[in-house]
Chains A and B, each alone.
Chain A
Amino acid sequence: MKKTLVTALLGAALSMAATGDLMAQTTLRIFTGGQQRPDVMKQIVDVYMQRNPGVKVEVEVGGATSEQQQQYLNTVLASRDSTLDVVLIDVIRPAQWAAAQWAEPLDSYLGAEKDATMARYVAAYREANIVNGKVIALPYFADAQFLYYRKDLFEKHGVQPPKTWTELRDGLKKIMDAEKNPNLSGFQTAGAPIEGTVCTYLVPLWELGGQLTDASGKLTLTGETARKPFDLWGDLKSSGVLPSNIAEIVTDRMRQNYQAGNLISTMNWGYVWNRVENDADSVVKGKTGVVPMPAYEAGKSATCIGGWQLAVTAFSKNKAEAVKLVRFLSSPEVSKMQAILASHMPVFPEVYTDPEVLKANPWFKDALPVVQTARSRPVTPRYNEVSEIIRTNMNAFLAGTKTADAALSDMQSRLTPIFK
């Protein structure tokens, strides 16, 4: 028995010695979402592995939506599992990750370079990733919501790109009446009970000058302003511009509908451009315009800040190597690659004016100010609950299950104990 053990150990040692290279190799595992272009991340990671032969990077692809990914991550991280080294997280999550102590703070790894490194990012992303003075994650790509619209149809019917919601409604009605195509929807925004539906409520709220919480973190969701976003979507729905099934619409569905030529305009994120212009099944190539979201008053447009951040998990066994990888993925070089390969919006201001980037995404030239002024969804460790309350009530309103007053008062009564 002992003898066999010894021989087995010897054998193992010999075979390890034979593959000396493998022994020195570190394997890092990075988690990304199905909708954050894992194919592009794999290309980028290949470049990293070529330059760092001692490191092997595996890309794990999770669910398509932000909350599906987080559900999985919640179980992995709550059990302090060390399989994931780097995780791509939504811009709404750093506060929660910091509170739960799931992210390894990067300050000590950045050392003296911390301030200089952080200063290079678009300000909103610098702020989003620093929680209570600690760097929780580094930005991978930026995002904001824009109005995508069918330039060809707008021109054909003599409609200008809308600056206000009224212009959007009237313009779309005109186009829809003239086109007489029953499959053609006017406008879509997320309406299903998903994360994006939180922005469907918040964008008009912000445009009106409203806010969910004040600077001290108290709920300020009151009065007419809090009710008006419901009225806006209710009006667009009753005028037929918003489709009757809006309550089942998820983010990528809008992109699919638009790409199939069944949708005139949509409030959507940066990734849509690349798919619309490059996907084989897109029937609207070269027919798309991108402008800031319409507002109640021209020029008072608002948008949700989006984008994805790279966090090193607190349970990783290769933190130093993981931080190196993260710093590469959060570099101007990778920002540019992503902009060209996936129309992911850069997190460095100078990349927006890069000629190659502009060639792939002509609309980026006007996009930086929109990203710079994009607003954050409420920052709280209990964001998951906040999000659920807003999206379920918005969804119930869009489905016609709740009136605006009922949805708003349910929202208020459930949010109050969280923001007390």
Chain B
Amino acid sequence: MSSTTAEAGARHAATPPARKGRARLSPLERAERRLGLMMLAPAVLLLCAVVVYPIVELVTTSLRFEHLAQPWMGTPFVGLDNFARAMSDEIFWSSTLNTVIYIVVTVPGAVLVGLGLALLANQPFKIKWPVRLGLLLPWALPLVFTGLIFRWFFEFNQGIVNNALMLVGMSPRQWLSDPFLAFVATCIAIVWKSSSFVALVLLAGLQTIPRSLYEAAEIDGAGRWQQFVEITLPMLRPAIVVALIFRTITAIQTFDIPYAMTNGGPGHSTETLAMYIHKTTIDFLDLGYGSALAVLMFAVSVVATSGYLRYTKRDPRKEA
């Protein structure tokens, strides 16, 4: 597939099409164009290899029965059977619902906490590096380590959280084995981990707001809150949208932190769609069904992202 694209490009360059605009190209321009296409080819080939090929492979696998634990069954084409199975699979729906709840809770959660952190880091501290380092550390930490660390925080006997509760005279809670509390605990870990990225994006946004706007507002008698609402927030909107997009895409794929903290438990109550896909393919070796689930998740991602993208495309024109 990739080679045909490149060939088609080369053919275009070699035989100038009949269209008027292109017929006027001078030999030099044509050579330039050919060079340009040639230089593009490696990138196109690479993209085909790492993006197009896997997606095509995923979709074709999703239309087959392929179960590595049952190799004698072969890999027959089954049409949309795998998708039909997903529609009547309770765990598919519960893990999708869990993913949606994770998105609804942790995306705004991370943006709110991240905004707070960014505002804090934007204060004129004398020594800036500890603040910046504090912002960067959670972001630099691998997700699964975050999960493991928080699992120990919320552990029943030795966990620091229950320890703190007992110090103030409250009884210890089953953070990881009560369905509601397990959800709360994983959300806290996710927000902690992702808000620093949001904060970095917003901090960059904050620093582009000219000081003169605040000075003018002060002269006009605007209070701090008014300055925040009338200047900071509107000026920060593009940065907030970028943060929201990235955070939503990663939230759709939520995997590592609940995997390390609860492994989806108790029961299936903290299992996300990404975890269910992993379980189906890597544990159960049911590649056909796992691929169908992945296609469904991909579709959800595309819808969510395109929604945001349309919003960002429209926005700058309006602001202008």
Contact = CB atoms under 8 A, between A and B. Distances in A.
**Which 7 A-B pairs have CB atoms at the shortest separation, nearest pair first?**
A396-B267, A399-B266, A247-B177, A245-B156, A193-B265, A381-B69, A248-B177
16 contacts: A74-B282, A96-B69, A191-B177, A193-B267, A245-B174, A245-B176, A247-B265, A248-B155, A248-B156, A248-B174, A248-B176, A393-B267, A396-B266, A398-B177, A398-B266, A399-B266
A103 B266 CA distance: 34
B267 A392 contact: yes
Contacts of B174: 244-245, 247-248, 399
A120 interface: no
B267 A401 contact: yes
A395 B265 contact: yes
A398 B155 CA distance: 17
Interface string B158-194: 0000000000000000101111000000000000000
Contact of B284 (A75, A246, A247, A385): A385
B266 A401 contact: yes
Contacts of B288: none
A400 interface: yes
Interface string B286-306: 100000000000000000000
B95 to A, nearest CB: 12
Contacts of B268: 392, 396
Contacts of B69: 96, 99-100, 381-382, 384
Interface residues of A, number: 37
Nearest to A399: B266
B269 interface: yes
Contacts of A70: 283
Contacts of B266: 193, 247, 395-396, 398-401
A101 interface: yes
A203 to B, nearest CB: 21
Contacts of A183: 157
B131 to A, nearest CB: 36
Contact of B177 (A194, A257, A399): A399
Given A71-B283, A381-B70, A401 B176 contact: no
Contacts of A401: 179, 266-267, 269
Given A245-B177, A399-B178, A399-B179, A382 B284 contact: yes
B267 A245 contact: no
Contact of A193 (B70, B71, B72, B263): B263
Given A400-B178, A401-B269, A101 B71 contact: yes
A170 interface: no
A100 B71 contact: yes
A247 to B, nearest CB: 4
Contact of A67 (B155, B264, B269, B283): B283
Nearest to A67: B283
A401 to B, nearest CB: 5
Nearest to A193: B265
Contacts, number: 95
A83 interface: no
A1 interface: no
A384 B268 CA distance: 16
A244 B69 CA distance: 37
A243 B70 CA distance: 40
Nearest to B283: A384
Contacts of B68: 74, 78, 100
Contacts of B72: 99
Interface in B258-284: 263-269, 279, 282-284
Contacts of B177: 191, 245-248, 398-399
A285 B68 CA distance: 46
A396 B72 CA distance: 34
Interface in B213-260: none
Nearest to A65: B263
A257 B264 CA distance: 24
Given A247-B177, A401-B179, A402-B267, A388 B71 contact: no
Interface in A68-111: 70-71, 74-75, 78, 96, 99-101
B263 A100 contact: no
A192 interface: yes
B264 A193 contact: yes
A398 B70 CA distance: 32
A381 B265 CA distance: 25
Contacts of A388: 279, 283-284
Nearest to B156: A245
A74 B70 contact: no
A392 B283 contact: no
A248 B264 CA distance: 11
Contacts of A373: none
Contact of B283 (A74, A395, A402): A74
A262 interface: yes
Contacts of B283: 67, 70-71, 74, 384-385, 388
B144 to A, nearest CB: 12
